[in-house]
Amino acid sequence: MQTNYHIFHRKQDIGKRISLLHREETMSIGLMAVDAGESLAGAIEAILQYSSWSVHVLMHEEQGRIPELRSRFPQATFIVFAQPVPFGTMANAMANECYTTFFFLTRSDLRCNRFDSDEAIALLHRSDKPAAITPVLTNRLGELIPVIQVPMLRDGMVDPVSFLPGSAIMPTLYPFLGMGLYERALFQRLRGFDEAVESEYWQVLDFGLRSWLYGYPILNSPCISCTFINRQFIIEDRSERDGIKRVHTKALGVRQMNGKNYPKRPGKYTDTHVHAEVKKRLALYKTDFQQLVEQWKAPGDDL
């Protein structure tokens, strides 16, 4: 999808510019602007204080004060959209423009309490190649948010069950609110977030489903933890939106039997165009949704 945005690159000294021509930076941070004014400025300032990595601020023109922010934070890159766009569009732009091996997506209403980049990157280098490492999240009172998502099918729709994270690494169906550390090359190989899907929830669910079904797990780890500085209740909008048939066709359109993949007959939540595309990509599926549910170890299950 063609998206209209402008990039205002950070200012660098000439020595660093020359150095980066010959090597790829390890990490960058994508800060999604969900507010404006001093709240956004405070978020940028907080990240720049603890991070030596390049910072990309993703925002739209209606949030205003762009010249002022660029002047105040010359060390940050600003990716500015002409109008408000869905989360997935911003995330895909970040992956296209950051030119780093890994990128971390966060929000301007979050503050990181812990970010052990070495541990998080080591997890992405595991033999099972996780698609993302997601953070433990707490609300403004310090209470844990149920970011662990377990796959479930209800009335023909994928309807994950939420659990609280623990003190250990745990599998989760998708990155809650899209927040997490991604390996740029794998993210793009998985085709990022589907911009034809309308809502943030369905976009991140779709990414998580594709990742797991293609054989790339998503993990939640306390090596990254963040807090919502002003919000007590964080509720996903799981209402039906345009594009949910795309999500379900990719997730439920394949049945694996005896190690071989077969396309399933179209059902209630089938997009016929996507169904044809799924048939072309049968070889990419390492499992099907039914097996994923059956093999999943939910929190509290005996190991």
Band of pLDDT at residue 30, cut at 50, 70 and 90: very high
Residue 238, domain member (yes or no): yes
Residue 60, domain member (yes or no): yes
Residue 302, domain member (yes or no): no
Q: Which of 38-42, 60-64, 79-83 has the lowest mean pLDDT?
A: 60-64
Structural domain of 18: 1-108
Phi-psi region of 291 (alpha: psi -120 to 50; beta: other; left: phi over 0): alpha
**CB distance 242 to 133 below 8 Å:** no
Q: Which residue has the tokens 């969900």?
A: 34
Band of pLDDT at residue 298, cut at 50, 70 and 90: confident
Residue 303, domain member (yes or no): no
Q: Which DSSP string corresponds to 72-121?
A: H-TTEEEEEESS---HHHHHHHHHHH--EEEEEEEETTEEEEEE-HHHHH
Band of pLDDT at residue 68, cut at 50, 70 and 90: very high
Tell me the pairing of strands 25-32 and 100-107.
parallel
Question: Do 133 and 94 belong together in one domain?
Answer: no
Q: Which DSSP string corresponds to 134-201?
A: EEEEE-TTSPBP--EEE--EETTEE-PEEE---SS-EE-SS-GGG-EEEEHHHHHHTT-S-TTS-SHH
Residue 118, domain member (yes or no): yes
Q: What is the pLDDT of residue 164?
A: 97
The mean pLDDT value for 213-220 works out to 99
For 240, the token pair is 């039906």
- Mean pLDDT for the chain overall: 93
Q: What is the pLDDT of residue 20?
A: 52
Sign of CA dihedral 91, 92, 97, 103: positive
CB atoms within 10 A of CB 37: 10
- For the chain, what is the domain count? 2
The last residue of a domain, from among 58, 75, 108: 108
Question: Do 264 and 185 belong together in one domain?
Answer: yes
Q: What is the pLDDT of residue 266?
A: 84
Question: Do 91 and 188 belong together in one domain?
Answer: no
pLDDT at 192 exceeding the cut of 60? yes
Tell me the pairing of strands 148-150 and 132-138.
unpaired
| CATH code where residue 283 lies | 3.90.550.10
| CATH code where residue 101 lies | 3.40.50
Q: What is the pLDDT of residue 32?
A: 98
Burial (CB < 10 A; 0-12, 13-18, 19+), residue 20, is middle
**Backbone phi and psi for residue 216, each to the nearest 5 degrees, phi listed first:** -115, 110
Tell me the pairing of strands 218-228 and 132-138.
parallel
The last residue of a domain, from among 67, 84, 108: 108
**CB distance 232 to 182 below 8 Å:** no
Percent of the chain scoring above 90 in pLDDT? 85
Question: Do 265 and 185 belong together in one domain?
Answer: yes
Band of pLDDT at residue 300, cut at 50, 70 and 90: confident
Q: What confidence tens digit (pLDDT) does each residue in 135-164 have?
A: 999 999 999 999 999 999 999 999 999 999
pLDDT at 14 exceeding the cut of 50? no
Please report how many Cα atoms fall inside a 13 Å half-sphere around the Cα of residue 190, on the Cβ side: 31
Please report how many Cα atoms fall inside a 13 Å half-sphere around the Cα of residue 203, on the Cβ side: 21
Question: Do 55 and 134 belong together in one domain?
Answer: no
Q: What is the pLDDT of residue 303?
A: 43
**CB distance 76 to 57 below 8 Å:** yes
pTM, 2 dp: 0.93
Q: What is the pLDDT of residue 46?
A: 95
